Amino acid sequence: MSSGRRRVLFVAEDTTLAQMVRLRVLAGSLDSDRYEVHFACQRFPDLIFGNTSFKRWPIYSLPPEKVLANAEAGKRPYEISTLSKYVEEDFRVLEAVRPDLVVGDLRVSLPISAEHSKIPYATLINAYWNSSWTPKSYPLPDHPTVKWFGKHVASLFFPLARPWAFRYFGKPINELRRKFGLPTIGNLQEILTHGTYTLYPDTPGLIPLPVKRPRDHFLGPVLWSPALPLPQWWPALRADRPLIYVTLGSSGNHGLLRRVIEALAGLPADIAVSTAGKETFPSEKGVYCAPYLPGDKLCERASLVICNGGATTAYQALFAGKPVLGIPSNLDQFLSATAISESGAGSWVRGSEIDKLRTLAPQWLESSSARNAARRVQQEFLKYRPDFLFPEFVGSAL
């Protein structure tokens, strides 16, 4: 290794594939002649990390299914005992690597470990988590109270409960910061966007921030698609029929996938479904399924994309200029879907409202205003290139 290269450590929380792939894309954009790249994560799937030369550091993370189940149940995913173990793991890698810069994605222990170690830390987080972003209507997530009291009653209490909930979720992190002699940060939103630098894989037109701090940097959408061949049924897709691309990704509610397919059955469109390896559905006339699909090519070919509403697939669709229908199941997906909805380039439905797709999907297939809005977002996406902006940021930060 060249001693003149600066060391950059990427640390991904293994909650969804998004955390790994976003950092993997950014890490791959750095010039190996200038930077020595290290990557810490719980696992390193070949689908994502194949053919990479990063120095790998396995670290402990909670099982993804536990984190997602806690989030959907309205529970804190990380208590102080878990966070203490995270911090120990962080210190182990930081001591071994001695990086000049740490870049993290949803590794909530880094505001403790990196700051205590006096190492510059950049957090990658979508801008809709910034507390200065004020949507016209803050989304009501599918918290258990929605099932208990109904959407109408829950929506009356949620604005009052939200500040308390964000403080509740941030409490263990602030308690541990105090133990390390660090000042408290604030609520969950302030914790997620806390760092020496805050990097947003978004554009300011889609997520406008009235208050932009000097440490805030918009990189544009960080997109990734697996290097997979097109499925055998690809030639069977009809050129005279629109295509609807359906995927709920690694973090969507896959118990809904069969109902989504049933709701779309009978539409004058072909349906391409990626199950993310969760289930197996036989391909039948007009409905074509595969465990994994090259999302970029599907979005280019599709007229409409139905996903969990999260930024990973939704931004891929918008980059191709295609409208999005979201079926969110956690708050991050609700926030992303809300931002896209307010841009006019998409809409979303709850998991309990899947039947609405029967009427919504044809409407969005035919909507010229939705297509125009998606193309406006696409034009801004094309102006923000993370493969240029991220190396530029690292160069200036170091």
Residue 43 structure tokens:
């696992």
Residue written as tokens 């956690």? 330
- Mean pLDDT, residues 52-61 taken together: 96
Of residues 279, 284, 286, 225, the one with CA closest to residue 257: 279
Does the pLDDT of residue 146 top 70, yes or no?
no
Judge whether 109 lies within some domain: yes
- Mean pLDDT, residues 368-391 taken together: 97
What percent of the chain is modeled with pLDDT above 90?
Answer: 76
How far apart (Å, rounded) are the C-alpha atoms in residues 20 and 167?
27
Q: What pLDDT, on the 0 to 100 scale, is given for residue 365?
A: 94
Judge whether 228 lies within some domain: no
Residues 179 and 244 in one domain: no
4-17 in b/e form (b: 16+ CB < 10 A) is ebbbbbbbbbbbbb
Residues 111 and 155 in one domain: yes
Residues 93 and 148 in one domain: yes
Beta bridge partners, 57, equal: 40
Judge whether 388 lies within some domain: yes
Residues of the domain holding 131: 6-223+384-397
Q: What pLDDT, on the 0 to 100 scale, is given for residue 3?
A: 59
**Residues 18-31: tens digit of each pLDDT:** 899 999 999 999 99
Residues 267 and 175 in one domain: no
Q: What pLDDT, on the 0 to 100 scale, is given for residue 389?
A: 98
The helix (H) or strand (E) run that includes residue 304 is strand 304-307
How far apart (Å, rounded) are the C-alpha atoms in residues 140 and 149?
13
- Mean pLDDT is lowest, of 129-143, 293-307, 359-373, for 129-143
Total domains in the fold of the chain: 2
Q: What pLDDT, on the 0 to 100 scale, is given for residue 236?
A: 92
Residues 192 and 244 in one domain: no
Residues 393 and 248 in one domain: no
- SS3 state at 370: helix
Residues 140 and 276 in one domain: no
Q: How confident is the model at residue 148 (pLDDT cuts 50, 70, 90)?
A: low
Q: What pLDDT, on the 0 to 100 scale, is given for residue 1?
A: 42
Residues 157 and 299 in one domain: no
Residue 70 structure tokens:
């806690």
Q: What pLDDT, on the 0 to 100 scale, is given for residue 28?
A: 97
Does the pLDDT of residue 156 top 60, yes or no?
no
Does the pLDDT of residue 153 top 60, yes or no?
no
Judge whether 229 lies within some domain: no
Does the pLDDT of residue 10 top 90, yes or no?
yes
Residue 133 structure tokens:
């972003």
Does the pLDDT of residue 150 top 60, yes or no?
no
pTM comes to: 0.93
- Mean pLDDT is lowest, of 3-7, 90-94, 366-370, 373-377, for 3-7
Residues 210 and 121 in one domain: yes
DSSP string, 336-358: HHHHHHHHTSEEE--GGGGGGHH
- Mean pLDDT is lowest, of 24-33, 142-151, 207-216, 339-348, for 142-151
Q: What pLDDT, on the 0 to 100 scale, is given for residue 383?
A: 97
Of residues 199, 207, 223, the one with CA closest to residue 390: 199
CATH number for the domain that contains residue 74: 3.40.50.2000
Q: Tell me, what amino acid is at 343?
A: S
Residues 195 and 250 in one domain: no
Beta bridge partners, 123, equal: 104, 198
**Residues 74-119: tens digit of each pLDDT:** 778 889 999 999 999 999 999 999 999 999 999 999 999 999 999 9
- Mean pLDDT is lowest, of 81-85, 265-269, 345-349, for 265-269
The sign of the dihedral angle between the CA atoms of 134, 343, 224, 278 is positive
Residues 64 and 126 in one domain: yes
Mean pLDDT over the full length of the chain: 91
Q: What pLDDT, on the 0 to 100 scale, is given for residue 207?
A: 97
